């Protein structure tokens, strides 16, 4: 079987930053060409970043994206890179939705495309067939589906293209790949990290290789984009599903591999297929080392996802540093540790904000943490700030408890405004789910690294991080006492979480069933939990939903209000 050298460019684009992303593509292409690649492929929407959400409905943005692709093709040629085909994901448009007949998404004017750049031109584009519209995906809302498959003949190997979801569903491109007699299926993706997702993704790729009798090259984006983290983990498998090459998770990587593919024959079918023939690039093929990354264990993967998610939020939004309250508790200790791993301790500012209810051990643990990690650290006692409110407004009970949390929020935002830090909030998923926090108090902040991390997992991650440090001969960052002591909000004397909440083991398990698996109350009780406990927890969740009603929405009187119908991605700042 003929050989072909594939390059999978696992890049970290920024949503909306067309110019910077194009620069990145040129740079990776240069490296791939130097390494003798016959074909270079980038992730889904590598030129615009992913997800672009409602930007897909802006004609001016689509025109800019289209123009960027043309400019990129020109530039690749000018830089002597025009003789290798480059597959690059981008949004194309604007198209007239009436012409395209997308009756259920009349505002969709874009297609999610894989463009083929060669010889200074965009010589072909394949639009994604299957547009996911569940979980974090809103593609059917924003895109018009495609219906044509590209098969690129490179010398004597046929390479079929697919875009992400197209290989997750039967029908569409995948069903045509076998009959198209392709040797390679090249799939460009923007597949976000989820716990255990590699347990689904790799077997899927392997299944498709067997079904289509092709080499499957799967290239993914990497990097944090708002609440999503793309984990990379790009992979190439042969016709039998065996791994030929695999990129590491959570970092940019250029994965280069030689594959043996079925020789191209005269095409048996052409309907619905755009066949493009290109000569195989000549030139030297430097020898390649095997490049198969090992996946670390689950806890390390999660830690790495949280670190990259925070780092890219800080960097892509241009914050110089972060600031957070350090209470000596497990949540703030873990967040500080993630932040130091993400951007370096020198860019992390901790503030201890003791109240009259803060215990000595809390202050001691916070001091200890700050010293272990080496973050900037100051103490701002809140008593002289809280008392005037209590006195003037006559607050007591719950209102006074919340007041302490809100005064801390005002301190952090004041320091943020004065010194430029991004405020980190430290709440975990269990706490948020049951509303065990103060609105406009400890919930203040631009990014919450533990927002999707249940409490039991926070402890697990803390232990893992300390063990990893110990294994490297470093000081474990998180004080043992912060891990082992019973958690407390310390808003009143002697308060402990378990006075108000069920044991975290049960809480987390029941929340996982309710939120993660969409179980109803009866389904959860059927797992063996006492119905009263289930009921108590679901009441807390309902109550938390109700509490969240106190963050502003407002009556909509126009097509385009803010909020729901204006889903602008976070890092899009084309004008400033």
Residues annotated as catalytic (active site), given as ranges: 44, 128, 164
| For a second copy, the closer CB: 165 or 262 | 165
Tell me: is residue 542 an annotated ligand-binding position: no
Q: Is the dihedral of CA 263, 268, 269, 270 positive or negative?
A: positive
Tell me: is residue 321 an annotated ligand-binding position: no
Tell me: is residue 280 an annotated ligand-binding position: no
| For a second copy, the closer CB: 29 or 425 | 425
Tell me: is residue 327 an annotated ligand-binding position: yes
Helix (H) or strand (E) holding 379: strand 376-379
| For a second copy, the closer CB: 36 or 354 | 354
**Does residue 535 contact residue 426 with C-beta atoms inside 8 Å?**
no
Tell me: is residue 329 an annotated ligand-binding position: yes
- Shortest approach of a second copy to residue 367 CB, angstroms? 20
Tell me: is residue 193 an annotated ligand-binding position: no
Helix (H) or strand (E) holding 278: strand 273-278
- Shortest approach of a second copy to residue 171 CB, angstroms? 7
- Shortest approach of a second copy to residue 395 CB, angstroms? 5
Distance CA 470, CA 463 (A): 11
Distance CA 26, CA 568 (A): 27
SS3 of 498, please? Answer: helix
Contacts of 40 (CB under 8 A, 6+ apart): 7, 9, 28, 29, 32, 33, 84, 85, 86, 87
**CB atoms near residue 393 (< 10 Å):** 11
Contacts of 344 (CB under 8 A, 6+ apart): none
Tell me: is residue 511 an annotated ligand-binding position: no
Instruction: Tell me how far the alpha carbon of residue 243 is from its chain's centroid.
Output: 24
Distance CA 423, CA 53 (A): 25
Distance CA 537, CA 553 (A): 26
| For a second copy, the closer CB: 472 or 549 | 549
Distance CA 350, CA 496 (A): 23
- Shortest approach of a second copy to residue 29 CB, angstroms? 29
Residue 429 is given by DSSP the state H
For residues 432-450, one letter each, b for 16 or more C-beta atoms within 10 angstroms of the residue's C-beta and e for the rest, the string is bbbbbbbbebbbbbbbbbb
SS3 of 547, please? Answer: helix
SS3 of 28, please? Answer: helix
- Shortest approach of a second copy to residue 23 CB, angstroms? 21
| For a second copy, the closer CB: 239 or 437 | 437
Distance CA 516, CA 457 (A): 15
Contacts of 329 (CB under 8 A, 6+ apart): 362, 365, 482, 487, 488
| For a second copy, the closer CB: 322 or 373 | 322
Tell me: is residue 330 an annotated ligand-binding position: yes
| For a second copy, the closer CB: 132 or 155 | 132
- Shortest approach of a second copy to residue 92 CB, angstroms? 16
- Shortest approach of a second copy to residue 301 CB, angstroms? 9
Tell me: is residue 325 an annotated ligand-binding position: yes
Strands 86-92, 39-42: pairing kind: parallel
Q: Could you list the residues known to form a binding site for deamido-NAD(+), using ranges.
A: 402, 431, 547
Q: Could you list the residues known to form a binding site for L-glutamine, using ranges.
A: 134, 191, 197
Q: Could you list the residues known to form a binding site, using ranges.
A: 134, 191, 197, 325-332, 402, 426, 431, 547
């Amino acid at each position: 079987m003929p050989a072909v050298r594939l390059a999978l460019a696992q890049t970290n684009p920024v949503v909306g930053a067309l110019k910077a992303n194009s620069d990145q593509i040129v740079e990776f292409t240069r490296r791939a060409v130097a390494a003798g690649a016959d074909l270079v492929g980038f992730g889904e929407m590598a030129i615009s970043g992913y997800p672009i959400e409602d930007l897909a409905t802006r004609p001016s943005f689509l025109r800019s994206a289209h123009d960027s692709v043309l400019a990129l093709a020109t530039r690749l040629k000018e830089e002597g890179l025009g003789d290798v085909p480059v597959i690059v994901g981008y949004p194309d448009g604007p198209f007239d939705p009436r012409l395209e007949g997308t009756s259920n998404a009349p505002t969709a004017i874009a297609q999610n495309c894989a463009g083929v750049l060669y010889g200074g031109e965009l010589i072909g584009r394949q639009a994604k067939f299957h547009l996911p519209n569940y979980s974090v995906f809103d593609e059917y809302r924003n895109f018009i589906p495609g219906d044509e498959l590209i098969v690129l003949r490179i010398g004597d190997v046929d390479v079929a293209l697919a875009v992400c979801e197209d290989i997750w569903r039967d029908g569409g491109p995948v069903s045509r790949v076998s009959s198209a007699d392709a040797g390679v299926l090249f799939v460009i993706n923007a597949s976000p990290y989820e716990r255990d997702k590699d347990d689904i993704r790799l077997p899927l790729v392997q299944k498709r290789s067997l079904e289509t009798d092709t080499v499957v090259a799967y290239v993914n984006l990497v990097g944090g984009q708002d609440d999503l983290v793309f984990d990379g983990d790009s992979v190439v498998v042969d016709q039998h599903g065996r791994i030929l090459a695999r990129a590491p998770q959570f970092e940019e990587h250029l994965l280069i591999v030689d594959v043996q593919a079925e020789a191209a024959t005269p095409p048996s079918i052409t309907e619905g297929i755009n066949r493009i023939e290109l000569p195989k690039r000549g030139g030297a093929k430097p020898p390649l080392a095997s490049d198969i990354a090992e996946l670390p264990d689950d806890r390390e993967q999660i830690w790495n996802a949280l670190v990259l998610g925070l780092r890219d939020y800080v960097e892509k939004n241009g914050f110089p540093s972060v600031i957070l309250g350090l209470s000596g508790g497990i949540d703030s200790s873990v967040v500080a540790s993630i932040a130091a791993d993400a951007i370096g301790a020198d860019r992390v500012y901790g503030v201890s904000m003791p109240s009259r209810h803060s215990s000595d051990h809390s202050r001691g643990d916070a001091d200890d943490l700050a010293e272990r990690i080496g973050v900037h650290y100051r103490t701002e006692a809140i008593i002289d700030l809280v008392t005037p409110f209590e006195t003037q407004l006559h607050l007591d009970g719950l209102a006074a408890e919340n007041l302490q949390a809100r005064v801390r929020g005002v301190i952090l935002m004041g320091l943020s405004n004065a010194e430029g830090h991004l405020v980190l909030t430290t709440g975990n998923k269990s706490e948020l789910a049951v509303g065990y926090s103060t609105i406009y108090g400890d919930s203040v902040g631009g990014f919450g690294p533990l927002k999707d991390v249940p409490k039991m997992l926070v402890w697990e991650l803390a232990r893992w991080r300390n063990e990893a440090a110990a294994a490297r001969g470093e000081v474990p960052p998180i004080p043992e006492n912060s891990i082992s002591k019973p958690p407390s909000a310390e808003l009143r004397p002697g308060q402990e979480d378990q006075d108000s909440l069920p044991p975290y083991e049960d809480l987390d398990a029941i929340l996982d069933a309710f939120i993660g698996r969409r179980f109803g109350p009866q389904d959860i009780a059927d797992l063996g939990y006492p119905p009263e406990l289930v009921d108590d927890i679901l009441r807390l969740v309902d109550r938390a939903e109700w509490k969240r009603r106190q963050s502003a929405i407002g009556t909509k009187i126009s097509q385009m209000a803010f909020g729901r119908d204006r889903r602008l991605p976070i890092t899009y700042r084309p004008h400033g």
